[in-house]
Chain A
Amino acid sequence: MKISGAEILIECLKKEGVKHIFGYPGGVVLNIFDVLYDEKELELILARHEQGAIHAADGYARASGKVGVAIVTSGPGATNTVTGIATASMDSIPLVVFSGQVPTMLIGNDAFQEADIVGITRPCTKHNYLVKDIKDLAKTVREAFHIASTGRPGPVLIDLPKDVTAGTTDFKWPGEVKIRSYNPTYQGNKWMIKQAARMIAKAKKPVIMAGGGVILSGASKELKGLAETAKIPVTMTLMGLGGFPGTHKLSLGMLGMHGTYYANKSVQDADLLIGIGVRFDDRVTGKTSAFAPDAKIIHIDIDPTSIRKNVRVDLPVVGDVKNVLKDMIKAVKEQKAQWDALRSAWLKQVDYWKEEKPLSYRLDKKIIKPEFVVEKIYEVSKGEAIICTEVGQNQMWAAQFYKYDKPRQLLTSGGLGTMGYGFPAAIGAQLACPGKLVFDIAGDGSIQMNIQELATAVINKLPVKVAILNNGYLGMVRQWQEMFFRERYSHTKLDVIPDFVKVAEAYGAVGLRAEKPDEVVPVLKEALKIKDKPVFMDFVVDWKEKVFPMVPAGAAIDEMIFEEEEKKSEKKLKAVK
């Protein structure tokens, strides 16, 4: 029986186990949307902007571990997804994005709503396709899901000309996928793993640095196993938070530009650094030539290009993190070392650093400190919420002051640093995990970048809690201007900020506000009571607050600036004046 391309597409999605699609209709995808009109098994979540749809699909994927799916129209519909695709690409998030395209006959003619989206997204997808023949459609969809979800995951785009979705053909579901040129390495080299175990047993001051790869590979159990077996402290990149329990004795929290004092100190003093599912991003390493200067580096990653891209590596292990760690635990146990005795001095040193300079901020009785809000969110959610963030100070405070014990608890645009990511991502996460508490920790700048998605959350009765740390500024940029640009606040003061309570109410959501520290917890508790609609909580916070510790760009990661020291140097400066 012949069925239409649009029907084939939907059948394929069902076979892939898709339940939710995020999208926005338009001219050349009408055939697809027409099929969706009668569809019972699949639900299309209508966003209010294609960027909202793609970030929601991304949040859905991060929270659930499944592939996120989005469908948009050609031209502007497709180009509006580019930021979201690049966001997913930088953080290795599996997405399959379907964009409509003008009919094959018209491609290249500058037709109405035509854009070369395959060309545009080539560098920010793992792979992309233009389906020119309806007969290739089912196979292409199958391949796309396979590529997106295996190896180092990533977004895949399929461009669908109108005549392909409108045409008809026989539908045959291709079973297994085999792509001769795509064979990721899943098992680590046994000899390398044995070498690594020897290095671990020899090391006096080892540190594990865990990244997003641990979460993507589902390897947190194995990571904990390795750390506990060989008594190695664990620091995490922003993407790795939750990969190892933040409340664990061996946890050092996040490292890097706004990492903890003790994480950065430990890495710089280590004699062995074990990078697991990380790519040694510049926000983590600071000045690479001064990064972990005394350490031998073991690097485990499924993507060979990550290895030796940014830092020297003494022992690379290419493979799926989970498999490699399983083998490594075995190999480490075979070393039969007296781990406790071997590590006691080092762990004592690390504990000393933890006590010497813990993460801190100054509480104030009159004015709300943003860190205080994050701490209270941690408390009222009992550490079990899914936290989405926007980008900037809000993101760093959310990383520092919430302790993530489980993977897939923190959803944040780590690589691309996309403002406007958090709110739609929270919508996707809430759909993927209906029973869970989902927060978006936002800034007053970021939230305005996809604020239209309030409508999506309201119509779908999603009780997403948006905590806006409202300081009236683009805070992180303002912080840099204050510290490095002689307090010249060029275009970072948001002079007109909407009344977020009224905005929420206008959309049919709930708006709450806290202006004093003692109002924070009541507002949060009030928000938790709401189960059927989104809540905006407008926390009017200290605009002067900055994120500390901070490693200035281009410095080594142990050259940290702390709040107190900065205050002192300010005084000195004033005295000189």
Chain B
Amino acid sequence: MRHTISILVENKFGVLSRVSGLFSGRGFNIESLSVGETIDPAISLMTIVTSGDDRIVEQITKQLNKLIDIIKVVDYMEVEHVEREMVLIKVAPKKNDKTEFLKLAEIFRGRIVDSGQVTFTVEITGDEKKIDAFIELIKPFGIKEFVRTGRVAIAREGVKKPK
């Protein structure tokens, strides 16, 4: 099972390596990781996507909680939440394909953030499935480059997850 885990940490040097070292040292798996400051500059938020059975994920959250610099750990598997990733894709469609490409980007609510003689760079935000679907669709147009962020997640207000 894949889990999105969000971790509030003290914004100190070395915290990222404590977290990543914990994952590598104990053989846990990191699929994606994103880190950023929170509204309180002394605290950072990490969002990690990991996978494992219940026992492993239980260990992951417990081991994370045990690290001194970690303030709070939330496994979003247990919480209704919204997830987003972003991707920037540089595509070089042939002359005749340009209109079709732009239409597709529009359907996916993509934004063209750069256009040149040969390439467009499109920004797509959404959950993982949407981004995967978009990438599949535009592959035939010729992807030159793409860069994808890790996942970020936030809990929804007042919604309990049905058991």
Task: Kindly state whether residue B125 has any CB partner on chain A within 8 Å.
Answer: no
A305 interface residue per 8 A CB criterion: yes
Q: Is B58 an interface residue (CB 8 A)?
A: yes
Chain B: CB-nearest residue to A127: B68
On chain A, the residues within 8 Å of B71 by CB distance are 180-181
What CA separation (Å) do A123 and B21 show in the bound complex?
Answer: 7
Q: How far is B25's CA from A309's CA once the two chains are assembled, in angstroms?
A: 15
In the bound assembly, the distance between CA atoms of A307 and B55 in angstroms comes to 10
Alpha-carbon distance A564/B21, docked complex (angstroms) = 47
> How far is A179 from B22 in the complex, measured between Cα atoms in Å?
21
Judge whether A182 and B68 touch: CB under 8 Å.
Answer: yes
A308 B18 Cβ-Cβ under 8 A: no
Query: How far is A119 from B14 in the complex, measured between Cα atoms in Å?
Result: 8
Query: B interface, by DSSP: helix, strand, loop or mixed?
Result: helix
A119-B63 contact, Cβ under 8 Å, with A179-B68, A181-B10: no
Does A58 belong to the interface (CB within 8 Å)?
no
User: Which chain B residues border A119 with CB–CB below 8 Å?
Assistant: 17
**Chain A residue with minimal CB distance to B8?**
A181
Q: Kindly list chain B residues whose C-beta atoms are within 8 Å of the C-beta of A416.
A: none
How many residues in B have their beta carbons less than 8 Å from beta carbons of A? 18
Q: Is the CB of A122 within 8 A of B14?
A: yes
The answer on a CB contact under 8 Å between B68 and A308 is no
Docked Cα-Cα span, A375 to B66, in Å, equals 42
Q: How far is the CA of A130 from the CA of B15 in the complex (A)?
A: 12
The residues in B between 65 and 112 inclusive whose CB is less than 8 angstroms from any CB of A are 65-66, 68-71
**Residue B59 is within 8 A (CB to CB) of chain A in the complex:** yes
- A127-141 Cβ-contact flags toward B at 8 Å (1 or 0): 100100000000000
Greatest chain B CB density within 10 A among A119, A122, A130, A180 is at A122
The smallest C-beta distance from A154 to any residue of chain B, in angstroms, reads 10
Asked whether any CB of chain B lies closer than 8 Å to the CB of A147, the reply is yes
Bound-state Cα–Cα, A119 to B20, Å:
12
State the CA gap A126–B67 with chains docked (Å). 8
> B66–A305 contact, CB under 8 A?
yes
Question: A144: shortest Cβ distance to chain B, in Å?
Answer: 10
Known: A118-B14, A122-B21. A181 touches B70 (CB 8 A): yes
Say yes or no: A181 contacts B69, CB within 8 Å: yes
A50 CB-CB contact with B under 8 Å? no
Q: Output the nearest chain B residue to A181 by Cβ-Cβ distance.
A: B71
- In the complex, chain A residues whose CB is within 8 Å of the CB of B55: 308
Residue of B nearest to A312 (CB): B55
| A91 close to chain B: CB less than 8 A | no
Interface range on chain A: under 10, 10 to 19, 20 to 34, or 35 or more?
10 to 19
A7 on interface, CB distance cutoff 8 Å: no
Instruction: Give 1 or 0 for each of A260-295: 1 = CB within 8 Å of chain B CB.
Output: 000000000000000000000000000000000000
Q: How far is it, in angstroms, between the C-alpha of A82 and the C-alpha of B112 when the chains are bound?
A: 53
Please tell me if A303 contacts chain B, counting CB pairs below 8 Å. yes
A415 beta carbon closer than 8 Å to chain B:
no
Answer yes or no: A304 CB below 8 A from chain B CBs: yes
B17/A122 in contact, CB under 8 A? yes
Identify A123's interface contact among B10, B25, B58, B66, CB under 8 A.
B25
B24 to chain A, nearest CB (A): 9
Which of A118, A126, A305, A308 is the one whose CB lies under 8 Å from B63?
A: A305
Tell yes or no: B62 within 8 A of A by CB: yes
CB distance from A323 to the nearest CB of B (A): 20
A181 surroundings in chain B (CB, below 8 A): 10, 68-71
Report whether A305 and B62 are in contact in the complex, using a CB–CB cutoff of 8 Å.
Answer: yes
Q: Which residue of A lies closest to B58 (CB)?
A: A308
Inter-chain contacts of B18 with A (CB < 8 A):
122
Q: Chain B: which residue is nearest A305 at the CB level?
A: B62
Q: Which residues from B are CB-within-8-Å of A126? A: 68
Query: What's the least CB distance linking A480 to chain B, in Å?
Result: 26
Q: Chain B residues near A122 (CB, 8 Å)?
A: 14, 17-18, 21
- What A residues does B69 contact at CB under 8 A? 127, 181
**With A119-B17, A122-B14, A123-B25: A304-B68 Cβ-Cβ less than 8 Å:** no
Interface centre among B55, B58, B68 (most CB of A within 10 A): B68
Task: Give complex CA distance A179, B71 in Å.
Answer: 10
Closest to B55 in A: A308
A123 CA to B18 CA, complexed, in Å: 8
Chain A residues whose C-beta falls within 8 Å of the C-beta of B17 in the assembled complex: 119, 122
A309 to B66: give the CA distance in the assembly, Å. 14
Q: Shortest 7 CB-CB distances between A and B: which pairs?
A: A127-B68, A305-B62, A181-B71, A123-B25, A304-B62, A182-B68, A305-B63
Q: List 27 A-B contacts (CB under 8 A).
A: A119-B17, A122-B14, A122-B17, A122-B18, A122-B21, A123-B21, A123-B22, A123-B25, A127-B68, A127-B69, A130-B14, A179-B68, A181-B10, A181-B68, A181-B70, A182-B68, A304-B62, A304-B65, A304-B66, A305-B62, A305-B63, A305-B66, A307-B62, A308-B55, A308-B58, A308-B59, A309-B59
New contact pairs (11) apart from A122-B17, A130-B14, A303-B66, CB-CB < 8 Å: A118-B14, A119-B17, A122-B18, A123-B25, A127-B69, A179-B68, A181-B68, A181-B71, A304-B65, A304-B66, A309-B59
